[in-house]
Each structure stands twice: as structure tokens, then as C-alpha cells.
Amino acid sequence: MLKHLVAAALAVPTAYLAFVLVHALATTPLLDSIARMLGSPWAVSGLIDYSAGLLFSVPYLWLRASTLPAKMGLALGAIVLGNVFTVAAFIWLLLRSDGSLRTAVLPVRTAFPPIDSTSASRRTFIGLALLAFLGYLGFLVYCVQAQSFATGWATIQDDAWAYATFIDAWTGQCMVLTYILVREGRDAKLFAAALTIGLVFLGNATTCYYLLHLFLLRFPGWHVRDVLLWNDNGANVLLWNNNDVGEEAPLVPKTYV
């Protein structure tokens, strides 16, 4: 029942985003809009916010698919179509799951053995997340100094594509918020609340911070799949070197899932 309520709640911003995108396509040439957006730092920040959110949405959808064509289709859909596709796919993943909301969001029950924490894939992902985090924070500081938020917001509202970009980023943040509340809300309520506030005020800079937290502090040496998808329910605890372990150590796989 809960996952159906969450899916319905996520469908609201997704439907509104679809309406806004159709309106922008029908009324405003994209190239003209881009020229106007570049004249407003706050409008540009919406595009950066959306781009930073891809660091979560693209890997998450890629890892949820079981075949290469499906992985490529989901990743390309997220990049090309934005969060109207991403959140719709996330809703579909919730509804097709037979288990709880937590199982639908975090489906992996058996983690891979640890890998070298200095592997190229991990370093690349962490580097991109760090660059996006610092770059976006720096640009937000510039926005505050260069233009009042009221002026920037008026510019965003007056341009169909700038407004669509803002709603696109916001819709993606709704998905990230759902993920955070599901994963952290059970055992780390204050942390989840802090991340929620961060999403409201800093957008996907908070998403990048959370990714860095997961990869560097919480799951160092874990596979990307397990960092993003492992469900740390007690039923998933196995033996690691003859000791019971929880979320602090990777699990010995019986099968690769």
C-alpha cells in the first residue's frame, strides 16, 4: 500500500513536468530560450542542477536493468528525456515490485565481495560527484552575488524552457528524496531530515554530497551496484569471515543478482 501511495505522489510532479514540457515545445523555440537563460545566472543554475542530478539517476536506472539493451535504453532516456522519463521509470519499478517499498527501491539482497577502492570506475564516479558538488556550490555563491533571487525567479517564470528546466530538476529531486527517506529514514532520521533540508535549499548539490558520503564514508571498497541498491534488512545478513555483519561489510554472494 505504501509504495502505491509513494508512486501516486511521484506521479503528480511527473505529470506536471510533462505538461510544462509540452507547453514549452509548443510555444517557445529552444534556441531563443537558451540565449535568454544564459543571461540569468539563476536560470543557468537550474540547468546545472538538472545535470548534477544525472549522477544519481543514470547509474541507478542502469543498475536496475538486467540486460545491456535495457540498461542503455534507460540511461539514454534519462539523459535525453530528463526526469519525466526517469521518474516515470522509477514509478514503474516501484509498482512492478512484489515486496515492500524498501525492497522496491533497494532490491539487492546479496552483495558482491569487496573490490579495490582505488579502481578506475570508483575513482571516476567519485571524481565526477566531487566536481559537480564543488562546482555547483561555487556557482550558487556566484548567483547570490551576481543577481537577486527574485530577479532570477522572474526570469525563470517568464521563459518556458527555463521554467521547464527548473521543474525538471525539482521532479528529479522528488525521486532522490524518496530514495533518501527510504534508505535513511528508518535508522538515521536526523540525517535524512538534514538531507531533505539540503535538497530544498541546495538542490542536487545535496545529491552529490550524499553520493560522496555513500562511496567514501559508508561503503568504501563496495561495488557501485551495492552502494546504490543494497537492502540492509536483517534477513540479508550473512557470514563474513565467520562473523555476523551488517551494513558495515560486504556480503558473501550466494548468487550474483
Would 155 be classed as within a structural domain? yes
Pairwise pLDDT comparison (190 vs 110), residue with the higher score: 190
Strand partners, 244: 239
For residue 121, what pLDDT is reported?
77
Confidence grade of residue 252 (pLDDT, cut at 50, 70, 90): very low
Question: Is the predicted pLDDT of residue 240 greater than 60, yes or no?
Answer: no
CA distances from 55 to 128, 149, 172 (A): 8, 26, 11
Would 250 be classed as within a structural domain? no
> Which residue carries 521563459 as its cell?
159
pLDDT, mean of residues 202-210: 98
The DSSP code for 219 is: S
Q: What is the pLDDT of residues 109-144, one digit of tens each?
A: 877 766 655 677 788 899 999 999 999 999 999 999
How many angstroms separate the CA atoms of 133 and 138, rounded? Answer: 9
Pairwise pLDDT comparison (125 vs 197), residue with the higher score: 197
Any alpha helices (H) in the chain, and if so which ranges?
A: 2-27, 30-37, 41-64, 68-81, 83-96, 101-105, 120-146, 149-158, 160-184, 189-202, 204-212, 224-229
Amino acid at 85: F
Q: Kindly state the cell numbers that stand for 208.
A: 552529490
Would 133 be classed as within a structural domain? yes
- The boundaries of the domain holding residue 114 are 2-244
How many angstroms separate the CA atoms of 35 and 31, rounded? Answer: 7
Mean pLDDT is lowest, of 19-23, 29-33, 58-62, 87-91, for 29-33
In the chain, how many domains are there?
1
How many angstroms separate the CA atoms of 74 and 65, rounded? Answer: 8
Would 97 be classed as within a structural domain? yes
Question: Is the predicted pLDDT of residue 250 greater than 60, yes or no?
Answer: no
Q: What is the pLDDT of residues 3-57, one digit of tens each?
A: 999 999 999 999 999 999 999 999 999 998 998 999 999 999 999 999 999 999 9
How many angstroms separate the CA atoms of 98 and 110, rounded? Answer: 18
**Cβ 251 vs Cβ 110: under 8 Å:** yes
For residue 237, what pLDDT is reported?
45
For residue 221, what pLDDT is reported?
81
The DSSP code for 248 is: T
Q: What is the dihedral of CA 125, 59, 231, 206, to 10 degrees?
A: 60
Would 154 be classed as within a structural domain? yes
For residue 234, what pLDDT is reported?
52
Would 110 be classed as within a structural domain? yes
Question: Is the predicted pLDDT of residue 251 greater than 60, yes or no?
Answer: no
For residue 4, what pLDDT is reported?
95
